[in-house]
Amino acid sequence: MAGNRVTLKDIAQKVGLSMATVSRALADHPDISGETKARVREVAQALSYIPNYRARYLRAKHSRLIALIVPEMNMFFVPSMITGINRVVQANDYSLIVFQSDNSIVQERRLVEYCTHLSADGVLLVLSSETANLQHLDILHEVDIPVVLLDKTIDTVKYTTITIDDEEAGREAASYLIARGHTRILGIFGDQRQRISTQRLKGFRRAHNEHGIPMEESQVLRVTIVNELEEQLDRAFAAHPDLTAIFTMTDELLVHTHHLLSRRGVRIPEDVSLMAISDGQAPSFLHPNVTHLRHSGIEVGERTAHILIGMIEHNSDAMMDIRIRTTLVELGSVATRTATPKRRAKPSTGKRTA
């Protein structure tokens, strides 16, 4: 049907003016008389003219495209982060183009390169778990495309980074539990290749030190595949009959832990208290609602996008390291312990390995 798209030339012809004039008329350029503008607009309308941004942006040096690369689309955090990013990206007349690295460094490298082909104006990057260094970002630097790293990052002095204060959050959570009389806390952490994990764990450790609470290595679980969580949990319960509280580093770990506890018949918070770092959604539909250090994905997304756009528009290449503070949200999953806990030994689900 289409019959090729209407262009400026078509309008120019119809209205008897040059393309240049038509272009300026449509752009509301002051050189063009009001009368002409009106006529041009009318014809453009009549012909249902659609501007071709591809051509426009070819001439201009930018593309108004911002790329986001995430390792995967899980149901936690990423969606709300995207919501936040999208909000400010759209508000500033950019478009967001989303890629998924599937936690593969090879893919990530490929995608970063692809961003240069598309001449993205900026790149937002959540590192894959395989990413151990940032050499593959050099190409962006070479062609002056600003990048900001968010959420999952590694240490760098070269790129702007936005995360929560992971260590502090870990410390605060453990501290909170300790202050409520819990002296044997199980910490559930994620993939140790990610800074997010090591830092939160570091804070968790520090809280114990600061309060002079001894902590055994078997109190920290490092979970790379959630399927292994159950077994690890069994072992931990067996090793620590005096366990009274659990801290999970993320929402994903939280919901799975919560489920396993329920299945095991553990009452929260009567038998075991539960606390997490979370963006606040999961805690609201778990029972009881779980006390957490809130870490809003939307906020992270919004701030990140703002900063990136600032870098794009002011050509700033100052490197920043931004830590967003978490806020404590007290709900019903943490009990206060008095002196000696009187916890009974609970039967395990019996799936422990022989």
Q: Is residue 9 a contact point for DNA (CB under 7 A)?
A: yes
Binders of DNA in range 251-310 (CB under 7 A): none
| Non-local CB neighbours of 1 within 8 Å, separated by 6+ positions | none
Q: Where are the alpha helices (DSSP H) in the chain?
A: 8-15, 19-26, 34-46, 53-59, 78-91, 105-117, 138-142, 166-179, 195-211, 229-239, 251-263, 282-285, 297-314
Terminal Cα distance for the chain, rounded: 70
Q: Is residue 310 a contact point for a copy of itself (CB under 8 A)?
A: no
Task: Tell me the C-alpha distance between 190 and 124, whole Å.
Answer: 23
Task: Tell me the C-alpha distance between 160 and 306, whole Å.
Answer: 12
What's the full length of the chain, in residues?
Answer: 354
Judged by CB under 7 A, the residue of 33, 74, 327, 336 near DNA is 33
The option from DNA, a copy of itself, none interacting with 79 (CB < 5 to 8 A, set by class) reads: a copy of itself
Judged by CB under 7 A, the residue of 13, 23, 100, 232 near DNA is 23
Alpha carbon 208 to its chain's center: 28
Regarding beta strands 122-125 and 65-70, do their DSSP bridges make them parallel or antiparallel, or are they unpaired? parallel
Q: Which is nearer to a copy of itself, 120 or 178 (CB)?
A: 120
Give whole-number Cα distances, 20 to 4, 59, 97, 279, in Å: 21, 14, 32, 52
Of the CA atoms within 13 Å of residue 184, those in its CB half-sphere come to: 17
Q: Is residue 286 a contact point for a copy of itself (CB under 8 A)?
A: yes
Are the CB atoms for 145 and 122 separated by under 8 Å? yes
Q: Is residue 256 a contact point for a copy of itself (CB under 8 A)?
A: yes
- Applying CB under 8 A, the site for a copy of itself has a residue count of 55
Judged by CB under 8 A, the residue of 285, 340, 344, 351 near a copy of itself is 285
Q: Is residue 225 a contact point for a copy of itself (CB under 8 A)?
A: no
Q: Is residue 7 a contact point for DNA (CB under 7 A)?
A: yes
The option from DNA, a copy of itself, none interacting with 123 (CB < 5 to 8 A, set by class) reads: none
Q: Is residue 36 a contact point for DNA (CB under 7 A)?
A: yes
Judged by CB under 7 A, the residue of 2, 4, 48, 347 near DNA is 4
The option from a copy of itself, DNA, none interacting with 116 (CB < 5 to 8 A, set by class) reads: a copy of itself
Smallest distance, Å, CB 140 to a copy of itself?
11
Instruction: Identify the burial level of 143 via C-beta atoms within 10 angstroms of its C-beta, where 0-12 means exposed, 13-18 middle and 19 or more buried.
Output: exposed
In the shown chain, the binding pattern of residues 107 to 136 toward a copy of itself, with x for contact by CB under 8 A and - for none, equals -------x-xxxx-----------------
Binding part of the chain for DNA, among 21-29, 150-158, 261-269, 314-322 by CB under 7 A, reads 21-29
How many CB atoms sit inside 10 A of residue 89's CB? 26
Give the interface with DNA as residue ranges (CB under 7 A).
4-5, 7-9, 16-21, 23-24, 26-27, 31-33, 35-36, 49-52, 55-56, 58-60
